[in-house]
Structure 1
Amino acid sequence: MNLLLAGTWDPGEEAAWAQALRAALPAHRLLLARDAVTPIDAAIVANPPPGSLQGLPALRLIQSLWAGVDRLLGDATLPDGVPVARMVDPAMNAAMAETALWAVLALQRDFFRYAAQQRERVWHVLPQRRADEVTVLVLGCGQMGRGAARRLQQQGYRVAAWSRNAVAAEPGVTLYYGRDGLDAALPQAHIVINLLPLTPETRGLLDASFFAAMPAGAGVVNLARGAHLVEAHLLAALASGRIAHAVLDVFAHEPLPPEHPFWRHEYITVLPHAAAQTDLRSAARIAADNIEALAAGRPLANLVDRTRGY
């Protein structure tokens, strides 16, 4: 089959992906640029520029290399009727669970406050909470949300999860769903971790009313998409003390502009969209498996429901 690799790349990234995919798909032809005379059977993409997949009548699969597909689905020129598959990589899920655990542990044990004290050369011991005294609410019950909930539960935290719809929960995790469920869960949540897909329904979910429903002095960890968060509302919640600290890995504009107030905010920890990077070694193999399934007429894995947005 003829395959098109299309994306928005950092320097050297396209060449590295091409090398890994060609090694994983030796029986197929991988192209880095469109050729008008070559019919493309499948596209392997990483946030391709809008219009990249137009005019490909033989296209039978769009395989994303990234877990999130909101930008891809937001392209009005994306061909209708072509299956879209997102990346579901156990290595990425494990990395996300590690970041979630690190953020929760640092919030529980006040390590961010100790770091601030060090900068001011202050020697002061803060009260120490136990893990079983902290309720963590994980937003999202997909692969990453379930993995994070499982990892946190193993460390002794009281873990709850929220989903827009009723789903099967991890054993021992309290499940809430729907708007009423969120309203019931937030007042109990000492720390909220956002791992939701970005959809019209979840855009701007982390807003003033969301923060007001949480206990005073709570922590917020956003590892999903910047558009989930209303930035001005978070700054107001931090100023009032409603939110004590926020760990942010994703932003409305990336890279985060140098003049952005988040950079120097005493109660915000900034990560450069690095909570769970795609592992090229495992992701190339996963993408290749779906390409081989397409070639053999087998069922495709991790297909996206375009109406839901994930």
Structure 2
Amino acid sequence: MTINVLFAAREGSWPNYEAPLNAAFEDLGLKVDLARTHAPKDVDYIVYAPNAPLQDFTPFHRAKAVLNLWAGVDAIVRNPTLNLPLARMVDPGMTTSMTEWVAGHVMRYHLGIDRYVVNPNQNWAPHVPPLASERQIAILGMGALGSAVAEMLMRLGFHVTGWSRRPKDSSIPMHHGADGLRAALSCADMVVLLLPDTPATANTLNPETLAWLPKGAFVINPGRGPLIDDQALIAALDDGHIAGATLDVFRTEPLPQEHPFWAHPKVTVTPHVAAETRPITAARVIAENVRRGEAGEPFLHLVDRDSGY
């Protein structure tokens, strides 16, 4: 029996995903008709990117699941027409990319590399950084990405504390809830934000919580733009409480040219490049979920609609 899989993403994505998806289906022995067009009544699974033209899921009566190509589901999870199971993307390639990006920017701040990269006056001013074991890093958001980042930084020797809104089992020392957030931030030399974008996580870093960080702390955000109150961060940078910020995600993308982050001497802007779904590794995740659906097994990485991720 042929399984009909609809690929619903922007047209430019198709050349990147067609061959890896078909190869992954074949590796699992699945007979799949993967196409950009199928009659809705015939579709068994939808491989989906939230920026796709498809926004109305009501015609897909036969479909068993929507398999998201992105780690973030904030642009789809509240779609009122979506009554199908929704699986988010947990892609090993994306996880590796994220850990490399975060590790690079953590080490940049830890070693004080900027003082030598930008040294127009040719000042000979040796600065010996502390050891990693003398630095405390807080990871806000301990899902798949946050946990992988925490483990990487611990292997480099840093003291790492994780924080989540609800209690979570982890090998990493953890805090949770509002009181736990203050505890996690109050001793953090750096904070890395990897929370999902939900109403409950909006402005996690705001005037109050930024003030909980020690003077001279650094902020690194490869998670979601709305996690930070932009004006509060700028104020904390201007008054010297926060020493620097590296930001990969923003409320509006591309970041508008007039936004003050661009010109701020203590802000590094990167254009949403910390982690991106990798077609080869993501295709294997999609194929495994199709196999599970056909075998009547639970889907991987199902989204909790109540929590929004």
- Is the TM value for this pair above 0.5? yes
Q: Give the match's secondary structure for 2:184.
A: helix
Q: 1:94-243 alignment to 2 at 5 Å?
A: 94-117=96-119, 121-170=122-171, 173-243=172-242
- 1:199 Cα shift? 1.5
Q: Deviations over 1:19-58 (max 9, x none)?
A: 322333351112213535x521111011134624332111
- 1:297 Cα shift? 1.9
Correspondence 1:71 to 2:75 = yes
Report % sequence identity. Answer: 37
Q: Give the match's secondary structure for 2:305.
A: coil
Q: Give the match's secondary structure for 2:119.
A: helix
Q: Give the match's secondary structure for 1:101.
A: helix
Correspondence 1:44 to 2:55 = no
The residue that corresponds to 1:84 in the other structure is 86
Mark the CA change 1:204 to 1:284 in structure 2 (over 3 Å): closer, same or farther: same
Tell me the distance in 1 between the aligned counterparts of 2:75 and 2:68. Answer: 11
Is there any run of 5+ residues in structure 2 with no aligned partner, and where?
A: none
Greater shift, 137-146 or 18-27, is seen at 18-27
Correspondence 1:20 to 2:24 = no
Residues 6 and 52, structure 1, Cα contact 8 Å, conserved in 2: no
Q: Deviations over 1:177-232 (max 9, x none)?
A: 11011112211011000111122111111111111110011000011101111111
Tell me the distance in 2 between the aligned counterparts of 1:232 and 1:116. Answer: 26
Residues 204 and 227, structure 1, Cα contact 8 Å, conserved in 2: yes
Residues 117 and 123, structure 1, Cα contact 8 Å, conserved in 2: no
Q: Give the match's secondary structure for 2:103.
A: helix
Q: Deviations over 1:156-182 (max 9, x none)?
A: 111111111111122xx3211110111
Residues 92 and 282, structure 2, Cα contact 8 Å, conserved in 1: no
Residues 137 and 191, structure 1, Cα contact 8 Å, conserved in 2: yes
Tell me the distance in 1 between the aligned counterparts of 2:10 and 2:237. Answer: 34
Query: What residue identity is the alignment partner of 1:15?
Result: P
The residue that corresponds to 1:253 in the other structure is 252
Greater shift, 84-93 or 142-151, is seen at 84-93
Mark the CA change 1:45 to 1:180 in structure 2 (over 3 Å): closer, same or farther: same
Tell me the distance in 2 between the aligned counterparts of 1:136 and 1:35. Answer: 50
Q: Deviations over 1:107-134 (max 9, x none)?
A: 111113333335x655433342221111
Q: Which runs of 4+ in 1 moved over 4 A?
A: 120-123
- Which of 47, 50, 58 is matched with 1:54 structurally? 58
Residues 4 and 38, structure 2, Cα contact 8 Å, conserved in 1: no
Query: What residue identity is the alignment partner of 1:67?
Result: A
Mark the CA change 1:115 to 1:302 in structure 2 (over 3 Å): closer, same or farther: same
Aligned length: 302
Tell me the distance in 2 between the aligned counterparts of 1:8 and 1:256. Answer: 21
- 1:143 Cα shift? 1.0
Q: Structure 2-normalised TM-score?
A: 0.92
- 1:277 Cα shift? 1.6
- 1:6 Cα shift? 1.1
- 1:92 Cα shift? 1.7
Query: What residue identity is the alignment partner of 1:21?
Result: L
Tell me the distance in 2 between the aligned counterparts of 1:300 and 1:52. Answer: 22
Q: Structure 1-normalised TM-score?
A: 0.92
Query: What residue identity is the alignment partner of 1:160?
Result: T
Tell me the distance in 2 between the aligned counterparts of 1:50 and 1:32. Answer: 11
Mark the CA change 1:112 to 1:71 in structure 2 (over 3 Å): closer, same or farther: farther
Kindly report the root-mean-square deviation, in angstroms, between the aligned alpha carbons of the 2 structures.
1.8
Q: Give the match's secondary structure for 2:42.
A: coil
Query: What residue identity is the alignment partner of 1:41?
Result: D
